[in-house]
Structure 1
């Protein structure tokens, strides 16, 4: 069984371009949406994403919407805790495909790390 985990030096989730996420206002409240938009750099990436290390520079203090936790996903997306694992894997795969491509090294590393067998 595949088990979700964050794969280091990926950063696909740090590509925040709001034009690629038109549903933001459906799950983020006014203040969270304002915070989200304030984090988007001119290139569509989070201003706290270090492109050299491919890591978040505020990881321990990252916003709630950046956290893959059962309570956050239930509140924001209506995902029940027992569905979080599969939902998170699917979200990461979709984001990695959108940012890096389906046949990218990032997708290969993610699928291998989580134990995904197609």
Structure 2
């Protein structure tokens, strides 16, 4: 995605693409976690590669209010935004979501279209 400082990351309901935790697809992300977080992450991976707390039918998290910190994509926005570049976190989170949504649901589907609408800044 081209740099667009007008886009702001926002999670959309009914997506859950980030809940696909399959370690073979997420090795880099797992390595960034602490040993305790890695253990928790791996314990959350179901036999199908999806989080055991993800309701695949409703595409919703069963523990959303109490989910682990590493499940909160908004943390990326806060961690990587800086005074010199406050949009860096948004761009990172948007890039991660675009990649994951494309991988799980395709690049031209309804989820992708809804996400693209959600990240546009409302003036």
Following the alignment from structure 2 to structure 1, what is the Cα–Cα distance between the partners of residues 13 and 46?
A: 21
Which protein is richer in helix relative to its size? 1
- State TM-score, norm by structure 1: 0.85
Following the alignment from structure 2 to structure 1, what is the Cα–Cα distance between the partners of residues 78 and 55?
A: 25
Pairs aligned (count):
112
Question: Where does structure 2 lack aligned partners over 5 or more consecutive residues?
Answer: 1-5
Match 1:3 to one of 8, 16, 25? 8
Where do residues 68-107 of structure 1 align in structure 2 (5 Å cutoff)?
A: 68-70=73-75, 74=79, 79-81=80-82, 82=86, 83-107=88-112
Contact conserved, 2:74 with 2:93, CA < 8 A, in 1?
no
1:71 is displaced (CA, Å) by 7.2
Q: What secondary structure, in the 3-state scheme, does the structure 2 residue paired with 1:23 have?
A: helix
Q: Deviations over 1:80-113 (max 9, x none)?
A: 3421111111110011011111112111110011
Following the alignment from structure 2 to structure 1, what is the Cα–Cα distance between the partners of residues 103 and 92?
A: 16
Question: Where does structure 1 lack aligned partners over 5 or more consecutive residues?
Answer: none
Following the alignment from structure 2 to structure 1, what is the Cα–Cα distance between the partners of residues 81 and 118?
A: 23
- State TM-score, norm by structure 2: 0.82
CA RMSD between the two structures: 1.9
Moved over 4 A (4+): 70-73
Q: What secondary structure, in the 3-state scheme, does the structure 2 residue paired with 1:20 have?
A: coil
Q: Deviations over 1:4-48 (max 9, x none)?
A: 110000000101111001213431111100100000000110000
